[in-house]
Structure 1
């Protein structure tokens, strides 16, 4: 986007922004797992517990952007797709970390 151009609600940048949001969320979750793998004790437990929390924060922020896009008349469907993907990933992450946290 050059200077002077306004963001168009129906532009392809919505798809790019939603994909970038999902990818950044997943990278943060993988970073939590990486730190957990390299540590031990309470830091390991905290990082394993933080991973689903980070995924849920990413999912709920995507839902918030969905709502704001819908209000503005933009392409809210793109953000809803990202929201559903992140919510499903958050549930899978939570279920996969639960056995480790319950030990």
Structure 2
């Protein structure tokens, strides 16, 4: 196998997945920071919204995984982003749970 026969990683796809993860987590953290600085009604709404934002980002990454898999592309990159965002979703969910219950 020569160097030209080896598959090259799609750097654009990796960059898109990384930007997707960073933006999703950034929006989730921004919602939590604004909730921390807000009053009761808005605080409760934003604490509920923060994990939902991360979940929507994870579902979007799963959709990209499926699309790339069907197209025969590098779906593993997006699957890794999906798993990471799902783990972050669980962290957000359990960190905001006490605020909602208490």
- Indicate whether the TM-score tops 0.5: yes
| Worse overlay, 28-37 or 75-84 | 28-37
Which sections of structure 2, spanning at least 5 residues, go unmatched? 1-8
What pairs up with 1:35-46 in 2 under 5 angstroms?
35-46=34-45
- Number of residue pairs matched by the alignment: 94
Match of 2:61 in 1: 62
TM-score (norm 1): 0.88
Q: C-alpha distance in 2, partners of 1:102/1:57?
A: 23
Task: Give the root-mean-square deviation of aligned CA atoms.
Answer: 0.8
The alignment partner of 2:10 has SS state of: coil
Per-residue CA deviation, residues 9-54 of structure 1 (Å, 9 max, x unaligned), is x521010000000000011011101110111111001001110000
Hey, which bits of structure 1, 4+ residues long, moved more than 3 A?
none
Structure number with larger C-alpha Rg: 2
Match of 1:12 in 2: 11
Match of 1:29 in 2: 28
